[in-house]
Amino acid sequence: MADQPDRGNRRDPRDSARDAGAEIGTALSRAAEVAGAAITQVGQVAGDAMLGFFGRVGGRRDELVTDVVPELMPLHPLSPGDEAHTRLRLVNGEGSATEPFAVRATELTSDAGDKIPADSVVVPAQQRVLAANASDTVRVTLRVPDDAKAGVYSGELKADAGGVEPAPLVLEVR
């Protein structure tokens, strides 16, 4: 164009400003994603802590009848291929700490004899100890296999130590 001065090999400042604006926008979007993930993590930790202190929503607390009582938050009906997250609440109502234990899942079986393998239920493998008169929550992830048939499946979440009652795990697949 005839009315613009010859800049040689230098870039137009307006192009540089647009590029800088785009880079700032990308950086802000990424920062928002990271902040959102951090807020989600904080919310999960806070939810675990609140569940540990207050029990189920609505203030209902069952009486403790064993050394360690597991309580599993209910799962909603799922479809093949779905993934669901819940929490297992462990309560030690005794005056002394538990022995170290880990939690594992059993195979889930329907009334019709169909199976969902135990490895479809993901529980952190770490050993845990519950202090006297304390509680803890364990995040549980359930992945329904793509070929799972409709039905109600039952299994358990079990500890590998004595004194810890198994928690029933019931799942409806639609």
Res. 32 pLDDT band, cuts 50 70 90: low
Task: Give yes or no for residue 80 having a pLDDT over 90.
Answer: yes
Give the pLDDT confidence score for residue 41 in this predicted structure. 57
57 within 8 A of 42, measured Cβ to Cβ: no
Fold of 62-173: Immunoglobulin-like (2.60.40)
pLDDT digits (tens, 9 = 90+) for 97-156: 888 899 999 999 999 999 999 999 999 988 988 888 888 888 899 999 999 999 999 999
Give the pLDDT confidence score for residue 65 in this predicted structure. 32
Q: Please spell the DSSP secondary structure of the chain, one letter per residue.
A: -TTSPP-TTPPPHHHHHHHHHHHHHHHHHHHHHHHHHHHHHHHHHHHHHHHHHH-STTS--PPP-SSEEEEEPPPPPB-TT-EEEEEEEEEE-SSSPPPPB-EEEPPEEETTS-EE-GGGEE-----B-PPTTEEEEEEEEEE--TTPPSEEEEEEEEESSTTBPPEEEEEEE-
What residues does each domain of the chain span? 11-54, 62-173
Mean local confidence (pLDDT), 158-171: 84
